[in-house]
Amino acid sequence: MQGQQQAKNVISGFNQAYSYFEDYNAPAGYLLIFNSCETDLQLIVKDNEQSVPFVSYNNKMIFLILVDIFPRKSASKRSGLMPIEIIEQDFIQNIEESKGT
């Protein structure tokens, strides 16, 4: 459950960053994402062959920087991480819904 909320927060933050770039007519920028829960947050975007994944939408390019700040147990003392995937369409759909398009 905590991972799903984290994914919603990331998508909402992307929408906020996009709105900011649109307001200030910035062609590109960064979204710094802090993973603060015990999940494997995965950003599935089509332009992922570069070292920094990014989403390009409506002539805006947003680079996604993921920083894991959750304190981890050693590999021998933890179970596998639950993967939470956020796909590129989740980001774009949220922008379009907020605009009413």
**Percent over 90 (pLDDT), the chain:** 52
- Both structure tokens of 21: 């770039």
State the residue range of the domain holding 25: 2-71+81-99
What is the torsion angle, in degrees rounded to the nearest 10, for the CA atoms of residue 31, residue 21, residue 56 and residue 37?
Answer: 20
Task: Judge contact between 41 and 9, C-beta under 8 A.
Answer: no
Q: Taking 60 as the threshold, does the pLDDT of residue 1 lie above it?
A: no
pLDDT band with cut points at 50, 70 and 90 for residue 17: very high
Quick check: is 61 in a domain?
Answer: yes
- pTM given for the model: 0.81
Rounded average pLDDT over 2-19 = 90
- Binned at pLDDT 50, 70 and 90, residue 91 comes out as very high
Residue 76 covered by a domain: no
Residue 76 backbone phi and psi in degrees, to 5: -75, -15
Q: Tell me whether residue 28 is in a domain.
A: yes
Span between the terminal Cα atoms of the chain, in Å: 29
Q: How many domains does the chain have?
A: 1
- Residues 94, 12: contact at Cβ < 8 Å? yes
* CA–CA dist 80, 24 (Å, integer): 42
What 3-state DSSP class applies to 90?
Answer: helix
Residue 24 has pLDDT above 70, yes or no: yes
